[in-house]
C-alpha cells in the first residue's frame, strides 16, 4: 500500500485507538490527540499542489477483489485535492473548536471522536476512490457516521429523529446510486471512473444511459440535500455545532456535488443532465433561501441557507455542462458556470463554516439560538460579532468579500446561459437569471435578519438561561477567526486560488475540452464595469433592504409563522404508512405456526420457478437416456410414499416418530442402492440418534391433544405440497433434457477428474464437502458455533427481571 492509501485509512486506524486514549488519558481532552491527524494530513496533501497545478495526476492501485474488477485505486487530481484540503483543513479547525465546545467532564468524547474520525476517513475515501464500488462503500460509511453524529445526544428525541431521517433518505439514495453504478459496469465492463471516461462513447450510445444517470443523480441529490430530498438537513442541526460546521457545511453535503462534478465528463453535454441539474439546482436555491427567511433558530437559518447554496452550485454544474455539448475548449463564455461552481464551493466552506461556529458560540454562551430571545450582543461579544459580520456579508454577496465574487460569477453564468442555442434555452433560459436574482434577494434578507436580530437592538438577559453572558474563550474563537480571515483574504486576493486549486479542479471536471497544453483561463477580480451583474447586485441590496424594513408587516403572515418545511408532511406520512404496512404484513405472515411459514415459502418458490421456466420456455422431458426401474425400487418407493402420506393422520407421538424414522431409514436404503455408502452411513447414524432422542423426550411429555383444522386448510396444504413436488420433478426432468440437448456434461465428471488432482482425495463425497464446498461447510460450522454460544449464554445467564428497566 502507498502513502495515499495509508492516508485514506488513517482516520479509521486512529478511531480504533480512541477508546483506549479516552480511558487511560482522562485528564487530557481527547480532541488534542485527534487534532494531530487532520493537521498532518492537510500538510501532506498540500504538498501535491505543484503537481496538480501542472496538470499531473497520481494513481495507485491495491487489488481487493480483482476477479470482479473491484480494486482500491486512489486517484488524486485537481478536483480530489480540492476536496481533500477542505476535508482535512476544516476538519482540523472543527476539532480544535470542539475541544473547547465539548466538555470532557459531561460528554462521552470517545464516541464523538470515533464517529468524527470514521466520517473523515469515509470522506477521504469518497474523493480519492477511482473504483465505483469502493466509492460506494465509503459513501455509505459517510451516511452511517453522519447519523451517529447527529444522534450523539441520543437522549433527545429530536436528535434520534434527525438521525433516522438522515439515514433513511441518504441510504435510499445510496442504494439507487449503486444501481446506477451497476448499469455503468454493464455498459462499459469496468468500475474504474478513469476507464469509463476513456470509453464514454459506450455509455452515451447505450439504452441504459438515462436509467444509470437518473439513479446516480438520485444518490447525489439525497446526499447534497437537493429539493425535494433536502428535508433531512434542517433536522440534522440537532447534532453538536462542530458536527454541523463540518458535515453540513463543508464536507458531507458536498459529496453529491463532488459526484456530479466527477461524472460530468461522462454525462455532461446530454440534454437530460443539463436540465435535471439546472432545474433542480435553481429550485433548491429558491426554496432554501425563501424557507430560511421564516426560521427563528440560528442553525435552522444556516441549514436552509446551506440547502440554498448547494442548489446554487448544482445549478452552475448543470449550466456549465453545456460546454461539453459545444466542445469549445477553454472559451470562458461556456465555462464560467463551472468556474463559479468551483470558486463558490471554496467560498461557501469558509463563510458557512465560520457562521456555524459563531452560532455555536452564541448558543454556548447565551444558552439559546432563538433570534426572538437574542439581541444586543454586538458590544458583549465583539469578536463573535465581527466574525459573523464578515461571514454574513460574504454570504449576502457584498464586496469586498469572497462571496461577492462568486455570486457575481453566478450571475454571469446564468446570464450566459440565456445565450445558449441548445435545449430550448432561447425560450426557457430567461427564467434562470430571474430565479437566481429572486433567490439572492431572499439570501440578502435572511442574512440581515440573522445579523440584526442577533447583534443589534436591546439586550434581553431575562429571556436567557445564562445569567452572565460574555465573549467565548480564545480557544473557541481561533477556528472561526481563521475561516473569517480566509473569507477576507480570498475576497481581496482571489487569484491566490486561480491556478493552485480552481483551474486544476476545472480541468478535472471538463477534461474533454482540453488539449495536451491547454489550460482554462482564470482571472478573478472585483470591478467589471457597470454591467448587468452589478445592477442585479444593486437591485438585490435595495429590494432586500426594503423587504427587511417591512418585516413587521409580513412577519405576521402565516408563511412566516410556520417554520417547519411543508414537505416534511410527506415524509412523516410515508414513514407512518410504511410502519403500518409493515405491521399489517407482519400480522399476516407471523402467525406462529410453522406450517404457515412453510406454506408461504413454498408458494413463493412455486411462483418464482414456475414463472421463470415459463418465461424462458424451460419445460422439457427427454426419456432417451433414462433407464428402467427395478421391481424392488418400486416396492421401496411405494413404502416410502405410503409412510409419508400417513404421517398427517397420526395422532400419537411415538407412532409418528417411528414412521418418520422409517422414512429416514428408507432414504438411507436409497443411498445404498445409488452407491453412496458415505451418505447412507451418515443418514443411518443421524436418523438413529434422532429417533432415540425424540422417543426419550416425547415419552415424558403430556399426551398430545388432537388438533382440529378447518378442511380448507388441509386442501390448501395438499395443493401446495403437490405443486412443490410437481415443480421439483419438472425442474429435474427439464435440467436433464435441456442439458442433454445443449450438450452440457454432468458436473459429476468434473469431480471424478479433479478430486484427486486438485484436492488430493480419493473419496469424492468427502472432497466435495471439504474442498469444493469448503466455504459452504465452513459457514455451516460457523452457524452451529454461534448457536452453541447462544445456548451456553442462555444457560449461564441468570435474569433478575429488571434488565429492561
- Cell 418465461: give the residue: 615
Q: Are 288 and 307 in contact (CB under 8 A)?
A: yes
Q: What is the distance between the alpha carbons of residues 121 and 94, in angstroms, rounded to a whole number?
A: 15
Residue 84, pLDDT above cutoff 60: yes
Q: Are 242 and 94 in contact (CB under 8 A)?
A: yes
pLDDT digits (tens, 9 = 90+) for 555-613: 777 777 787 888 999 999 999 999 999 999 888 888 888 888 888 999 999 999 999 98
Average pLDDT over residues 396-422: 91
Asked whether the CA dihedral 604, 609, 612, 613 is positive or negative, the reply is negative
> What is residue 798's predicted lDDT score, i.e. its pLDDT?
65
pTM: 0.83
Confidence class for position 100, pLDDT limits 50, 70, 90: very high
Looking at residue 704, its pLDDT comes to: 52
Q: Select the highest-mean-pLDDT range: 318-332, 436-450, 647-661, 791-805.
A: 436-450
Residues 5-45 pLDDT 10s:
999 999 999 999 998 888 887 788 899 999 999 999 999 99
- The CA-atom distances, in angstroms, between 399 and each of 118, 391, 413, 494 are 38, 12, 19, 12
Give tens-digit pLDDT for 289-323.
999 999 999 999 999 999 999 999 999 999 999 88
Peptide bond into 230 cis (omega under 30): no
Q: Band the pLDDT of 805: cuts 50, 70, 90.
A: very low
What lies within 8 Å, CB to CB, of 290 at 6+ separation is 439, 442
What confidence tier does 333 reach under pLDDT thresholds 50, 70, 90? low
Residue with cell 463532488: 258
State pLDDT tens for residues 717-765.
888 888 998 999 888 888 877 766 666 677 777 888 888 888 888 888 7
The number of angstroms, rounded, from the C-alpha of 674 to the middle of its chain's C-alpha atoms is: 53
Please give the helix or strand (H or E) that residue 229 lies within, else none.
none
Identify the pLDDT of residue 592: 84
765-789 pLDDT, tens digit each: 778 878 887 777 788 888 889 989 9
Helix, coil or strand: residue 63 = strand
CB 268 within 8 A of CB 324: yes
Percent of the chain with pLDDT over 90: 59
Give the residue carrying C-alpha cell 422439457: 620
Mean pLDDT, the chain, as a whole number?
89
The 10 Å Cβ neighbour count of residue 493 is 12
Instruction: Write down the pLDDT at residue 403.
Output: 94
Amino acid at each position: 500500500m502507498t502513502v495515499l492509501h495509508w492516508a485514506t485509512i488513517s482516520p479509521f486506524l486512529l478511531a480504533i485507538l480512541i477508546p483506549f486514549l479516552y480511558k487511560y488519558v482522562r485528564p487530557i481532552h481527547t480532541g488534542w490527540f485527534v487534532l494531530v491527524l487532520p493537521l498532518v494530513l492537510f500538510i501532506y496533501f498540500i504538498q501535491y499542489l505543484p503537481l496538480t497545478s501542472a496538470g499531473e495526476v497520481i494513481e495507485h492501485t491495491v487489488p481487493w477483489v480483482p476477479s470482479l474488477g473491484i480494486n482500491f485505486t486512489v486517484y488524486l487530481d485537481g478536483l480530489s485535492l480540492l476536496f481533500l484540503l477542505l476535508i482535512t483543513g476544516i476538519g482540523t479547525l472543527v476539532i480544535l473548536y470542539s475541544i473547547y465546545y465539548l466538555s470532557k467532564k459531561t460528554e462521552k468524547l470517545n464516541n464523538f471522536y470515533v464517529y468524527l474520525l470514521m466520517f473523515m476517513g469515509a470522506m477521504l475515501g469518497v474523493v480519492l476512490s477511482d473504483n465505483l464500488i469502493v466509492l460506494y462503500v465509503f459513501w455509505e460509511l459517510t451516511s452511517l457516521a453522519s447519523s451517529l453524529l447527529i444522534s450523539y445526544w441520543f437522549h433527545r428525541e429530536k436528535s434520534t429523529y434527525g438521525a433516522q431521517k438522515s439515514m433513511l433518505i441518504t441510504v435510499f439514495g445510496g442504494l439507487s446510486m449503486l444501481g446506477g453504478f451497476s448499469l455503468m459496469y454493464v455498459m462499459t465492463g469496468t468500475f474504474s471512473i478513469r476507464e469509463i471516461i476513456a470509453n464514454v462513447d459506450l455509455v452515451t450510445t447505450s439504452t441504459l444511459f438515462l436509467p444509470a444517470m437518473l439513479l446516480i443523480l438520485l444518490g447525489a441529490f439525497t446526499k447534497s440535500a437537493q429539493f425535494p430530498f433536502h428535508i433531512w438537513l434542517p433536522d440534522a442541526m440537532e447534532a453538536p455545532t462542530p458536527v454541523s460546521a463540518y458535515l453540513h457545511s463543508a464536507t458531507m453535503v458536498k459529496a453529491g456535488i463532488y459526484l456530479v462534478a466527477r461524472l460530468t465528463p461522462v454525462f455532461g453535454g446530454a440534454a437530460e443532465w443539463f436540465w435535471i441539474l439546472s432545474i433542480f439546482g435553481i429550485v433548491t436555491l429558491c426554496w432554501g433561501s425563501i424557507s430560511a427567511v421564516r426560521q427563528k433558530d440560528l442553525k435552522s437559518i444556516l441549514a436552509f441557507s446551506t440547502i440554498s447554496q448547494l442548489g446554487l452550485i448544482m445549478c452552475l454544474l448543470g449550466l456549465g455542462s453545456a460546454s461539453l455539448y459545444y466542445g469549445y475548449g477553454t472559451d470562458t463564455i461556456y465555462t464560467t458556470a463551472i468556474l463559479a461552481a468551483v470558486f463558490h464551493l471554496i467560498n461557501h466552506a469558509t463563510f458557512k463554516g465560520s457562521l456555524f461556529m459563531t452560532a455555536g458560540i452564541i448558543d454556548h454562551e447565551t444558552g439559546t439560538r432563538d433570534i426572538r430571545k437574542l439581541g444586543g450582543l454586538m458590544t458583549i461579544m465583539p469578536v463573535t460579532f465581527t466574525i459573523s459580520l464578515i461571514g454574513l456579508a460574504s454570504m449576502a454577496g457584498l464586496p469586498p468579500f469572497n462571496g461577492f465574487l462568486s455570486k457575481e460569477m453566478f450571475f454571469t453564468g446564468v446570464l450566459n446561459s440565456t445565450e445558449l442555442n441548445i435545449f430550448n434555452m432561447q425560450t426557457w433560459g430567461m427564467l434562470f437569471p430571474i430565479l437566481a436574482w429572486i433567490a439572492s434577494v431572499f439570501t440578502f434578507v435572511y442574512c440581515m435578519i440573522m445579523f440584526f436580530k442577533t447583534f443589534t437592538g436591546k439586550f434581553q438577559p431575562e429571556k436567557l438561561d445564562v445569567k452572565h453572558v460574555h465573549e467565548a474563550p480564545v480557544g473557541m474563537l481561533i477556528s472561526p477567526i481563521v475561516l473569517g480571515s480566509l473569507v477576507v483574504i480570498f475576497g481581496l486576493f482571489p487569484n491566490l486560488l486561480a491556478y493552485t486549486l480552481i483551474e486544476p479542479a476545472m480541468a478535472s471536471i471538463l477534461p474533454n475540452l482540453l488539449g495536451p497544453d491547454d489550460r482554462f483561463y482564470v482571472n478573478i477580480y472585483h470591478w467589471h464595469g457597470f454591467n448587468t451583474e452589478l445592477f442585479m447586485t444593486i437591485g438585490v441590496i435595495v429590494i432586500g433592504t426594503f423587504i427587511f424594513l417591512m418585516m413587521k408587516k409580513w412577519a405576521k403572515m402565516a408563511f412566516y409563522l410556520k417554520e417547519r418545511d411543508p414537505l416534511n408532511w410527506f415524509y412523516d406520512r410515508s414513514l407512518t404508512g410504511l410502519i403500518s404496512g409493515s405491521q399489517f404484513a407482519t400480522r399476516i405472515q407471523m402467525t406462529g405456526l410453522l406450517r404457515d411459514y412453510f406454506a408461504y415459502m413454498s408458494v413463493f418458490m412455486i411462483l418464482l420457478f414456475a414463472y421463470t421456466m415459463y418465461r424462458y420456455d424451460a419445460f422439457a422431458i427427454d426419456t432417451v437416456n433414462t433407464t428402467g426401474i427395478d421391481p424392488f425400487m418400486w416396492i421401496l418407493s411405494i413404502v416410502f410414499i405410503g409412510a409419508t402420506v400417513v404421517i398427517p393422520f397420526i395422532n400419537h407421538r411415538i407412532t409418528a416418530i417411528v414412521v418418520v424414522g422409517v422414512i429416514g431409514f428408507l432414504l438411507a436404503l436409497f443411498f445404498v442402492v445409488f452407491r453412496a455408502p458415505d451418505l447412507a452411513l451418515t443418514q443411518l447414524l443421524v436418523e438413529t440418534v434422532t429417533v432415540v432422542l425424540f422417543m426419550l423426550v416425547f415419552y415424558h411429555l403430556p399426551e398430545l391433544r388432537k388438533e382440529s383444522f378447518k378442511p380448507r386448510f388441509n386442501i390448501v396444504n395438499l395443493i401446495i405440497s403437490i405443486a412443490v413436488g410437481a415443480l421439483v420433478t419438472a425442474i429435474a426432468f427439464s435440467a436433464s433434457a435441456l442439458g442433454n440437448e445443449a450438450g452440457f456434461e454432468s458436473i459429476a465428471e468434473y469431480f471424478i477428474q479433479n478430486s484427486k488432482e486438485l484436492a488430493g482425495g480419493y473419496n469424492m463425497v468427502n472432497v466435495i464437502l471439504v474442498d469444493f464446498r469448503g466455504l459452504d461447510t465452513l459457514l455451516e460450522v460457523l452457524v452451529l458455533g454461534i448457536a452453541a454460544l447462544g445456548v451456553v449464554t442462555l444457560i449461564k445467564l441468570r435474569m433478575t427481571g429488571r434488565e429492561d428497566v
